[in-house]
Chains A and B, each alone.
Chain A
């Protein structure tokens, strides 16, 4: 890589005094400020601006209808059409989770259960939402299509314990998903 020697641009008298340039700068800043004040900033519309700058005023205006299809919110467990949880606690999500937010305690399905064929389900499934970075690796790695990142983003709590989503909470967020999962099929 050859060294490129840069020449400073030659300034004429007006420029070398700077005052005009500074004044021009003020004018640019001011016009921008006025635009921002009138809610006419660039991309204010696409960002659903509140009318000042490009910012959305959070509790009054919400993201909900503006969320893109690919938005990654809170991870959640899903159930199938018949209310069975899909997760078999293979712990691959726990393994892949970069911030180690997921903690699973595997459990056995009792043999008198009608769906005992699957044998295994999580006895406890906890996601620490303080740790979660919403990367979606858990969804990608799940072999049973049991964990999905939903569009929920209002994850708040008053203490650390509140921020740990347990299995019931995860299933409540996740809801029902339909689709082909073979694990209950006796012959597949």
Chain B
């Protein structure tokens, strides 16, 4: 253990002193000595040592009540020597461990110098078996019905550590089932194992302590405050952290078993925070979205409003083929014909009579190609549509555009929304004859009205869903939605993150970057080689100093900070304060 140069000094310097120099302590976990920072929870020390201790109530982002008793391990401390006697040490200088006869919980105790932890062995196994048997006494064992089956800790630990059969012959306790505890969450109290994670989440993270236990003993029941349902915008996070099927999502209820679902890591596009998410899909359908842990962005949580905003992806309102306006009606056309029409109509206009309204919901790559399109057309009338709303104190940012920071970088401007008013005025006055709208609905979001758009000689819109602007558009191009495409975005705090494709776009929908590339090439006439999103990112990285040396794959699932905007995500601020105060571990 000692790496001192001479053996003489090695005999004098003990391991505890070596560790103390860096503020660490020596802990023996399953027979192997390691060093951990002072104040580390035993369960975290075990995790760092590669041993997962089974647990229910413990959550790194929440306080540890030690209520489930599942994480019990055997603990040992250095034997206390008689007064005046030197403690016994082995050859490496560690004191002899005297093991405690009773197990202790690993989630609420911290490590100390010369501590021993056993996560295996008869005592630990018997303890876990006993805890599992107690937990299952009143559990209804309705796994075939329960939505949690497949990702249920109770199932997993029952298989891993429990008994194969129950010795409980009596009647089970009857508790409320199928309770609408909030607008989005369903509660089944019979399945609840009373870990209290949801209660702590609501009071510690959200700050709305609406959940609590009533009754006593085996009749203890989780319930919401009688006058206040679980209606927080973060309520669905309780279903994520519920280790069993007690709290389930109304939206995902009985939709699909989780073992059919494929997980695709991606990011949320509903606000500038860029919450990291997991898309759960089967076939070409998204069934649910859950937050993905990223301690630099969203911790382990996400708002319900963002989580449930994916149902439009398989709605009937999706555009599935390019549409051209013939008279009052739109008729399907081929992509080739659409690009030819667009190119001829746009080339017929003088450059200053053309304007582009793009969206800050587009990825960096798409914005890069939008800029290239503007250059090809020779126009400087390029603006994005601002989208500001009320922020909350946790994750929802005031800027509801996910890529405003990226747009500033890629378009090389401090205010990408500045020209919107000028363009609107130009359209109204007739100075602008041709308008390209990318991924935005002018009438709903950009202050246009239907009459404004009527005098335009050519209006091209690319969008995923049917919208009022499309009614006025001469050409409508269907594009892929956020879960159907790849690309990168920069969130408000300057973190470059990646979108991944979880499902295929419907019908003839194409990625925005493909549309922009083909449109630009149809206008300029030269056919360059931009065959993949990687090539576009490479071209972007060459022009943008912040992205130098980066590729899409280098971004990784957790993203890379590319600039410092000074923006603080409120949730992270409070979480870091609680961490500093040792209230939580992770």
Contact = CB atoms under 8 A, between A and B. Distances in A.
Direct contact between A and B in the complex (CB less than 8 angstroms)? yes
Interface of A: 88-92, 94-95, 106-108, 111, 116-120, 143-144, 183, 186-188
Interface stretch (B170-178, B340-348, B470-478): B170-178
B172 A188 contact: yes
Interface string B222-255: 0000000000000000000000000000000111
A144 B256 contact: no
Given A90-B149, A119-B178, A187-B171, A143 B257 contact: no
Contacts of A120: 145, 254
Contact of A143 (B143, B253, B259): B143
A106 B144 contact: no
Contact of B174 (A90, A118, A187): A187
Given A91-B256, A91-B257, A187-B172, 15 more contacts: A89-B254, A90-B143, A90-B149, A90-B257, A91-B260, A94-B260, A106-B255, A119-B177, A120-B254, A143-B144, A144-B144, A183-B142, A183-B145, A187-B171, A188-B172
Q: Which 7 A-B pairs have the closest CB atoms?
A: A90-B144, A187-B171, A106-B254, A91-B257, A120-B145, A143-B144, A88-B145
Contact of B259 (A95, A106, A118, A183): A95
A117 B255 CA distance: 18
B257 A108 contact: no
Contact of B177 (A90, A94, A117, A187): A117
Contacts of A118: 145
Given A90-B145, A95-B259, A95-B260, A111 B178 contact: yes
Nearest to B170: A187
Nearest to A106: B254
A158 to B, nearest CB: 29
Nearest to A91: B257
16 contacts: A89-B254, A90-B144, A90-B257, A91-B256, A94-B260, A95-B257, A95-B260, A108-B253, A117-B177, A118-B145, A119-B177, A119-B178, A120-B145, A120-B254, A187-B174, A188-B171
A132 B256 CA distance: 22
Contacts of A186: 174
A94 B257 CA distance: 10
B184 to A, nearest CB: 15
Contacts of A89: 254
A92 B260 CA distance: 10
Interface of B: 142-145, 149, 171-172, 174, 177-178, 253-257, 259-260
Contacts of A111: 178
A161 B143 CA distance: 33
Contacts of A94: 260
A93 B253 CA distance: 19
Contacts of A107: 254
Nearest to A108: B254
A92 B144 contact: yes
A159 B441 CA distance: 46
A47 B256 CA distance: 46
Contacts of B256: 91, 106
A126 B253 CA distance: 21
A144 B171 CA distance: 21
B256 to A, nearest CB: 7
A2 B178 CA distance: 71
A112 to B, nearest CB: 12
Contacts of A144: 144
A88 B143 CA distance: 10
Nearest to A123: B254
Contacts of B254: 89, 106-108, 119-120
Contacts of A88: 144-145
B123 to A, nearest CB: 33
B333 to A, nearest CB: 33
A131 to B, nearest CB: 16
B139 to A, nearest CB: 12
A119 B260 CA distance: 21
A33 B145 CA distance: 60
A108 B257 CA distance: 14
B178 A116 contact: yes
Contacts of B260: 91, 94-95
Nearest to A107: B254
A115 to B, nearest CB: 12
Contacts of B257: 90-92, 95
Contacts of A183: 142, 144-145
A188 B255 CA distance: 26
A92 B146 CA distance: 13
A111 B260 CA distance: 27
Contacts of B178: 111, 116, 119
Most buried by B among A111, A116, A143: A143
B145 A119 contact: yes
A9 to B, nearest CB: 60
B54 to A, nearest CB: 24
A106 B149 CA distance: 14
A90 B143 CA distance: 8
A143 B145 CA distance: 10
A88 B142 CA distance: 10
Contacts of A95: 257, 259-260
A106 B147 CA distance: 11
A151 B178 CA distance: 39
B159 to A, nearest CB: 14
B204 to A, nearest CB: 31
A94 B259 CA distance: 11
A188 B174 CA distance: 9
A187 to B, nearest CB: 4
A117 B172 CA distance: 15
Contacts of B171: 187-188
A183 B172 CA distance: 13
Contacts of A106: 254-256
Contacts of A90: 143-145, 149, 257
A144 to B, nearest CB: 6
A95 B178 CA distance: 26
A72 B19 CA distance: 68
A119 B174 CA distance: 16
Contacts of A187: 171-172, 174
A116 B178 CA distance: 9
A53 B507 CA distance: 57
B172 to A, nearest CB: 5
A111 B176 CA distance: 13
